[in-house]
Amino acid sequence: MKQSLLEIKHLNKAYGENIILKSFNLKVEKGDVVVVIGPSGCGKSTLLRCINALEDIQGGEILIGGEPISRNAKNISTMRQKVGMVFQSYDLFPHKTILDNVLLAPIKVQKRKRNEVEKEALELLGKVGLADRKNDYPRQLSGGQKQRVAIVRALIMHPDILLLDEITAALDPEMVREVLEVVISLAKSGSTMMIVTHEMAFAKAIATRVLFLENGEIVEESKEPKAFFESPQTERAKKFLKSFEY
Amino acid sequence: MDWNVIISYLPRYKDALLLTLRIGWQGVLFALITGILCALVIYLKIPVLRQIIGIYIEVFRNTPLLVQLFFIYFALPKIGLQLSPEACGVLGLSLLGGAYMAETIRSGLENIAVIQSESAESLGMSKSQTFRYVIFPQALSSSVPGIMANVIFLLKETSVFSTISLMDLMFTAKDLIGMYAKTIECLTMLVVFYLIMILPVSILGNILERRLRFAEFGS
Ligand SMILES: Nc1ncnc2c1ncn2[C@@H]1O[C@H](COP(=O)(O)OP(=O)(O)OP(=O)(O)O)[C@@H](O)[C@H]1O
Ligand SMILES: [Mg+2]
């Protein structure tokens, strides 16, 4: 049988008494663009954080390319390199220039040669339109620009899958587009992604699969995103999508 | 104001300044090292050591330097540890300063947002790489204003060194007043020499702070 890129088996996640994910299952194949939507607090961020082993889990397994990823395992660094993550809050390293933000992990973690990574970094920064800002510090950039750098910083590690958690939620509306366009071009080039977003038009445009979550459970799943957004099958998804209309 | 008096006292004040500076910079250096090590222990939550350091910090932050110096100078010899007055000065300053620096750097470390270590770790960095390349440099630079304030505080505290017969600025002024009663001249020179010592540190602190604010802390 073919090995899934990401496989989540019976994942249990709770914060103390508060159960967030209960026996959660999911398979993601190479090239999938999985959009995860659902009401606030339903566990979307928690799910992504578990996949990147930023959270302790209470049960189940998360496999990347068939290998388990776990917070306390010895191979955690290797496993995390397979999973890129961009968060909602701009999380660039404020004491490093844009270029050094991008170079830090490939040089220190992957032990790549500086001039080789630098070439790639500049290429990637060029693709998101920021090569000329390489010597600036994060504070000199707009929110949208910072998020584009954060994407580059994740991409340069050549992850198998990229996790994006509401990466435009903290941005001014006019900056949302420039970031989402980068994500769309990644999808076109075949990147595997899991995207949490509240931008429904974007979700519809980019998804190859949609997961609608409520209380940590998949309420509706669709491999036909266009159809899902036009006429969801469940009442709860219908109600949720309605809340985005005016 | 008798200028001839002032000129004739200058060499003694200069010597006192040099002595104070010599003890001062060593004290500041060791205080910084002590402070960083203690802050690390607390930040990394190393058991036992952390409690001991907690007690050290409280004791030294909440007692006067004068008392600490007396302990080092008069009490330690009773248990067989005799240090020169100068070494006592350095040790006292280091211990007092270490406690203050530890607090400053600890709060710098704790103020770095969790998302910083999470994003470093999500890039595959180990805990120690995250600390070394992401957390510590940020904590240190955000602590610079506090560190500089501590340095100034420590340099001012050197004025109690006279009590363990170190010929620092304060000692020199008191000594000269005692001998020649040129009170106004002596005290004015005392103020001026403290300023000569401390003002540059103050100015350096302001410059550093402005530099760091530029490179630092986006969003
Ligand atoms: N560190 C934490 N400690 C305790 N509870 C938490 C923690 N993080 C999240 N939770 C709880 O877990 C639940 C799911 O949170 P999560 O952040 O995954 O939701 P979300 O779907 O991402 O919501 P949003 O759309 O608002 O980002 C919420 O009820 C939240 O209060
Ligand atoms: Mg969230």
In whole angstroms, how far apart are CA A65 and each of A211, B87, B162? 21, 62, 71
Chain B environment of A87 (Cβ under 8 Å): 115, 118-119
To the nearest whole angstrom, how far is the Cα of B131 from the nearest Cα of chain A? Answer: 12
What pLDDT score was predicted for residue B112? 92
- Distance (angstroms) between ligand 1 centre and the Cα of B83 equals 59
Q: Return the closest-CA partner of residue A206 out of A222, A190, A184, A227.
A: A184
In whole angstroms, how far apart are CA A124 and each of A26, A113, A119? 31, 17, 9
Sign of CA dihedral B104, B106, B107, B112: positive
pLDDT digit string (tens) for A62-110?
999 999 999 989 999 999 999 999 999 889 999 999 999 999 999 999 9
Q: What is the DSSP letter of A83?
A: E
* Residue A199 pLDDT greater than 70, yes or no: yes
* Residue B215 pLDDT greater than 70, yes or no: no
Question: Residue B216: pLDDT band by 50, 70, 90 thresholds?
Answer: low
- Domain ranges across chain A: 93-158
With a 6 A CB cut-off, is A44 part of the ligand 1 pocket? Answer: yes
* Residue A218 pLDDT greater than 60, yes or no: yes
Q: Which structural domains are found in chain B, ordered by start?
A: 3-218 (1.10.3720.10)
Residue pair B158/B86 in contact by the 8 Å Cβ criterion: no
* Residue A1 pLDDT greater than 80, yes or no: no
pLDDT digit string (tens) for B26-68?
999 999 999 999 999 999 999 999 999 999 999 999 999 999 9
Helix (H) or strand (E) segment spanning residue A9: strand A6-15
Question: Residue B219: pLDDT band by 50, 70, 90 thresholds?
Answer: very low
User: What was the ipTM of the complex prediction?
Assistant: 0.91
Interface test with B, best of A49, A81, A86, A91 (most B CBs within 10 A): A91
Question: Residue B2: pLDDT band by 50, 70, 90 thresholds?
Answer: confident
Match 């330690």 to its residue by tokens.
B76
* Residue A149 pLDDT greater than 50, yes or no: yes
Q: Return the closest-CA partner of residue A191 out of A99, A83, A98, A89.
A: A83
